[in-house]
Amino acid sequence: MPAIHSHSERLSAEAEEHLPGGVNSPVRAFRAVGGHPIVIQSARGCEITDVDGNTYIDFVGSWGPMILGHAHPKVIAAVQEVAQHGLSFGATSPREIELAKAIKRFYPSMDLVRLVSSGTEACMSAVRVARGYAEKPGVIKFEGCYHGHSDCLLAKAGSGAMTLALPDSAGVPPSVTQHTYTLPYNDLEAVKALLAEKGGEIGVVVIEPVAGNMGLIPPQPGFLQGLRELCDQHKLVLVFDEVMVGFRLARNGAQGLYGITPDMTVLGKIVGGGMPLAAYGGKKALMEKVAPLGPVYQAGTLSGNPVAVTAGLTTLEQIDARPELYDHLEKLGQQLQTGLEEILQGRGRVQRVGSMWTLFFTDRPVVDYASAKTCDTERFARFFRGMLEAGFYLPPSQFEAAFLSAAHQPEHIEKFLEAARTVLGARL
């Protein structure tokens, strides 16, 4: 019996009268998978429920924040309690100090931390601080990596690696991306060649140490270490954008998992526990450049507000309280990957790090943006819609990562695999 979506359809149509594309973030519009978006009424644990009463096992988790599962009782209780004492003061409050200390316990590479309200704001600010410290305008980023929508980071590769990056959005003047260089992910030789050519004007390298915005692409052996060495050699500031992977892949994210220490780290998603909160930080010598200590300006009305800070702090406390969390997530990830690969029999490729994974509809390893683009996005769209009808909510794009949470259990993965066997078997 196909699910009823009439309320979602009606509300999606109404939303389009008031919000661009009916959404407050483009990927939610389901443009990459067709059909209308489902409108979510509520969520708990590993399940979400739409406005028609359909319940789905959720593999999006609000794009990463919900590592504990939705509506974790301790997080909800803590937010309800703190909200009674005021939502925002625009002044320091005790818990934002506690959250900064907690972040430093998870991330010893961060001497000083600044709390902000989104991953975009955190990435934009971190790159500004790094440029202010390096006193060189050039920034190297990698094609297919997404660091939020600040102008200088909305840049795609130019015609050749040596050329300046082109704006990746209307409204971004070429003058703003003229100091941004976009290179292929996992290509250390391209970094070396660019530094040999233009090293004198480049001060910053920013990267997703495990890429999640092309679908899930791990760093190839030696890539991150090589980047670290090149940054040391050329005195570049290495910025790890761990907005998606922070607290996700390990207690201290990718830098903990791979043992590479960046100069600055950007955090988001999990650190806010589902509320608008992100952070950036790093070595004291860098962070002392930030106003009011130094000349790099960055500010925010709601930065560190008590409610968002409480959601983040309680989430980190719950991670601390569950030392077995990452083993649980790894076991679930292995169960899912092994099961999917048995079903696919080579008709697709599962790439995974811990509880982040992507099913790529291609027959070759996906190591960078160019190989990710070989995927059959139409097949992905059919798979997405078939799984949605079967009660499983996947990211509505081939070029996104899916997420597992502490609330997922082996039986949820088993049900997912049973449905995937049927959907993939249907001449997909």
- The residues that are catalytic are 146, 241, 269
Q: What's the CA gap between 338 and 174, in Å, rounded?
A: 45
Q: Please report whether residue 127 would count as binding ligand KE4 according to CB under 6 A.
A: no
DSSP assignment of 13-55: HHHHHHSGGGSSSGGGG-TTT-SPPPPEEEEEBTEEEETTS-E
Residue 110 CB partners (closer than 8 Å, separation 6+): 103, 104, 265, 281, 282
Q: What's the CA gap between 296 and 306, in Å, rounded?
A: 25
Q: Please report whether residue 219 would count as binding ligand KE4 according to CB under 6 A.
A: no
Tell me whether residue 181 or residue 399 sits nearer to ligand KE4 (CB atom): 399
x-marked contacts with ligand KE4 along 325-364 as a string, rule CB under 6 A: ----------------------------------------
Contact pick of 54, 213, 310, 358 for ligand KE4 (by CB under 6 A): 213
DSSP assignment of 298-321: ---TTTT-HHHHHHHHHHHHHHHT
> Residue 153 burial by CB count (10 A; 0-12/13-18/19+): exposed, middle or buried?
buried
Q: Please report whether residue 147 would count as binding ligand KE4 according to CB under 6 A.
A: yes
x-marked contacts with ligand KE4 along 265-304 as a string, rule CB under 6 A: ---x---------x--------------------------
**Number of residues lying near ligand KE4 (CB under 6 A):** 19
23 within 8 A of 15, measured Cβ to Cβ: yes
Residue 324 bridge partners (DSSP): none
Question: By Cβ distance, which residue is nearest to ligand KE4?
Answer: 119
Helices marked H in 84-222 — which ranges?
94-106, 119-134, 188-198
**Hey, which residues between 23 and 42 contact ligand KE4 (CB under 6 A)?**
25, 27
Contact pick of 65, 148, 184, 281 for ligand KE4 (by CB under 6 A): 148
Q: Please report whether residue 100 would count as binding ligand KE4 according to CB under 6 A.
A: no
Q: Which amino acid is at 32?
A: A
Of the listed pieces 70-78, 115-123, 162-170, 383-391, which binds ligand KE4 according to CB under 6 A? Answer: 115-123
x-marked contacts with ligand KE4 along 53-92 as a string, rule CB under 6 A: ----------x-----------------------------
Q: Please report whether residue 144 would count as binding ligand KE4 according to CB under 6 A.
A: no
Sign of the dihedral defined by the CA atoms of residues 60, 332, 214, 363, in that order: negative
Q: Please report whether residue 254 would count as binding ligand KE4 according to CB under 6 A.
A: no
Residue 20 CB partners (closer than 8 Å, separation 6+): none
Contact pick of 15, 195, 243, 313 for ligand KE4 (by CB under 6 A): 243
Phi, psi (5° rounding) for residue 257? -65, -40
Contact pick of 48, 207, 244, 381 for ligand KE4 (by CB under 6 A): 244
By the criterion CB under 6 A, which residues form the site for ligand KE4? 25, 27, 63, 118-120, 123, 146-148, 208, 212-213, 241, 243-244, 268, 278, 400
